[in-house]
Structure 1
């Protein structure tokens, strides 16, 4: 099975509950993602609340580990700002950073430590490439088997942890313009067995992105 639309990337670390900010704009079926400068009025507050306020103002979906932000406070963000600049200002001094899976979805993770030497060299690169290839094939097979999900007709960002035995855990999805499908996508992938152990020094959670294509057949071509 081939799937050219998937983009997979490692993000950073910890094995805890992943929370999705429940924002009004992101949960509306046809919510627009704001990319032009906008007026922000976000006070310094618990980072969880600030992320929800930012998400509501921009329409961007955000995934993050609730345990990693529970004791953090945001910086205040006021005035007319580019959404990217506003997000950077909001996170300043928190020890967290944004990693974008698409224009409309991003993941909040700790500032990355120096890359592990375990992933360097031909052997480490090959192990990670084989692992990500397996994740792609398994996720593709599961999601494309459900015609109701119409994979490939919208942008979809997925964040997941991989257990030591090679199962997808704590799956969270952000389906741009199709928030009603997110619980179904998460349930479909939760517990999926990869039949391969994660490589050493895998940085988690992993994030997957399927980009919008002309139709389901292209995204789910076999």
Structure 2
């Protein structure tokens, strides 16, 4: 049984762990009061208020300001309002977690077509296999026992570069994870029009991936 779930996509990560937050149940309306401020700070405030984890590229939001929100809103509507006018949008990666990425031109995904989608699927599958193999080889990383987000750029020759990791509750492991994956060779070139950076989200499970057991 596979204990580790990967979600791959064109996202980068800054990780906010709202440990002290009271999670918002479902999509029920709650009162959100968040002033207009640097978007980085606003996202952290939203994360604490909603109980949701946030993935984003700190560099992409560094010079952006949020829109103020004040009222009774469901969490999705509150986030949409917060991002209004920033040129960024939210994509939900899983229950209770979302990623912030630039708004894409409407035709960017459509232009890939069916063949392009197949190339991307094959590429992401290769990334998953390579990353799993590398991380599982280090038993000290305890992969699958905590929430993990990894972002990376892919060079033209198919190597992982500028790897960043966010390990929930295990920040001490992040440099080790980054060093393990930095320069990893995928033995496959990235497909055309690959949105970068890509991100791998690893969900917390009761044990480790079956492939890590040996």
Structure 2 residue runs without a partner (length 5+): none
SS in 1 for 2:121: helix
Following TM superposition, by how much is the alpha carbon of 1:187 offset from its aligned partner in structure 2, in angstroms?
3.0
Report Cα offsets for 1:167-193 as digits up to 9, x if no partner: 222323333444443333233222322
Conserved? CA contact 2:24–2:51, under 8 Å:
no
Question: Are 2:194 and 1:191 aligned?
Answer: no
TM-score between both structures, scaled by the size of structure 2: 0.80
Task: From 163, 169, 178, give the equivalent of 1:171.
Answer: 163
Q: Higher mean Cα deviation, 112-121 or 145-154?
A: 112-121
Q: 1:39 to 1:169 in 2, by over 3 A?
A: farther
SS in 2 for 1:120: helix
SS in 1 for 2:37: coil
Conserved? CA contact 2:4–2:208, under 8 Å:
no
SS in 2 for 1:99: strand
Match of 1:20 in 2: 14
State the alpha-carbon separation in 2 of the partners of residues 168 and 208 from structure 1: 12
Structure 1 residue runs without a partner (length 5+): 12-17
Task: From 106, 115, 135, give the equivalent of 2:108.
Answer: 115
Following TM superposition, by how much is the alpha carbon of 1:145 offset from its aligned partner in structure 2, in angstroms?
1.1
Q: 1:219 to 1:105 in 2, by over 3 A?
A: farther
Give the ranges of 4+ consecutive aligned residues of structure 1 lying more than 4 Å apart after TM superposition: none
Conserved? CA contact 2:4–2:144, under 8 Å:
no
Conserved? CA contact 1:42–1:54, under 8 Å:
yes
State the alpha-carbon separation in 2 of the partners of residues 204 and 4 from structure 1: 23
TM-score between both structures, scaled by the size of structure 1: 0.77
Following TM superposition, by how much is the alpha carbon of 1:27 offset from its aligned partner in structure 2, in angstroms?
7.4
Following TM superposition, by how much is the alpha carbon of 1:136 offset from its aligned partner in structure 2, in angstroms?
0.7
Match of 1:61 in 2: 53
